């Protein structure tokens, strides 16, 4: 069984955009439970957009390939707790939504799952998307997991 530690970094690249994320701690993942409420039939329901925003806000560490209107590189900003600022969350969610191939894998990494790079609509492997993992404490550049 392979695991991702919260200090590991997983980078996804699709076209010009690369996003690096780390898994959430157990305590942060436990906070997701607050998004679930009993539905009409008694089953738990959650606002999937709010859950996605929380996971992305606390797991994304780096984004490259996103430019400001003056053509300078966009730099993420963070709150005191290490989560993305509201502006950066908006930018990242917009970029990830534009490259849907990367959004689902980032959400899986946030939950300590090593994803496969597949189309969420049909399960087929996506071409042009790659993933690499940098294991914490080894000081090595990311090792390619595979190009898809």
| pTM score | 0.75
9-22 per-position pLDDT tens digit: 988 888 888 899 99
User: What distance in Å separates the CA atoms of residue 38 and residue 1, rounded to the nearest whole number?
Assistant: 34
Taking the CA atoms of 132, 126, 111 and 20 in sequence, report the sign of the dihedral they define: positive
Dig out the tokens for 73 from the structure: 């590189």
**pLDDT number for residue 146:** 41
What is d(CA 122, CA 88) in angstroms, rounded to the nearest whole number?
30
pLDDT grade, residue 127 (50/70/90)?
A: low
**3-class SS of residue 48:** helix
Tell me the Cα Rg of the chain.
16
By percentage, how much of the chain surpasses pLDDT 90?
Answer: 36
- Residue range 52-108, pLDDT digits in tens: 899 999 999 999 999 999 999 999 999 999 999 999 999 999 888 766 656 767 777
């Amino acid at each position: 069984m392979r695991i991702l530690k919260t200090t590991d970094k997983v980078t996804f690249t699709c076209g010009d955009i690369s996003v690096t994320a780390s898994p959430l701690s157990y305590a942060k993942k436990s906070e997701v439970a607050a998004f679930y409420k009993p539905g009409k039939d008694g089953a738990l329901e959650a606002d999937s957009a709010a859950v996605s925003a929380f996971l992305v806000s606390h797991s994304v560490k780096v984004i490259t390939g996103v430019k400001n209107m003056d053509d300078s590189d966009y730099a993420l900003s963070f709150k005191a707790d290490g989560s993305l600022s509201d502006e950066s969350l908006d930018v990242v969610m917009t970029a990830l939504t534009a490259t849907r191939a990367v959004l689902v894998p980032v959400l899986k990494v946030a939950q300590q799952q090593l994803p496969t790079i597949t189309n969420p609509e049909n399960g087929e492997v996506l071409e042009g998307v790659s993933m690499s993992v940098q294991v914490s404490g080894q000081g090595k550049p990311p090792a390619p997991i595979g190009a898809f």
